[in-house]
Amino acid sequence: MVVTEDQTAARRAYYAANRERILSSRREHYRLNKEKLLAYSRQYYQEHKDKIRSKSKRWYDENRTRKSAYWQQYYQAHRDAVLERNRQRYAQRKQSAPPGQEMRQTAGSERIVAATPV
DSSP string, 55-104: HHHHHHHHHHHHHHHHHHHHHHHHHHHHHHHHHHHHHHHHHHSPTTEEEE
- pLDDT tens digits for 81-117? 999 999 999 999 888 877 766 656 555 555 555 555 5
| Distance of alpha carbon 108 from the chain centroid | 32
| Distance of alpha carbon 72 from the chain centroid | 13
The reported pLDDT for the residue numbered 55 is: 86
Specify whether the CB–CB gap between 101 and 114 falls below 8 A. yes
d(CA 10, CA 63): 38
- pLDDT tens digits for 56-77? 888 888 888 888 889 899 999 9
User: Structural domain boundaries of the chain?
Assistant: 1-47, 53-88
- pLDDT tens digits for 13-64? 999 999 999 999 999 999 999 999 999 999 999 999 999 888 888 888 888 8
pTM assigned to the model: 0.38
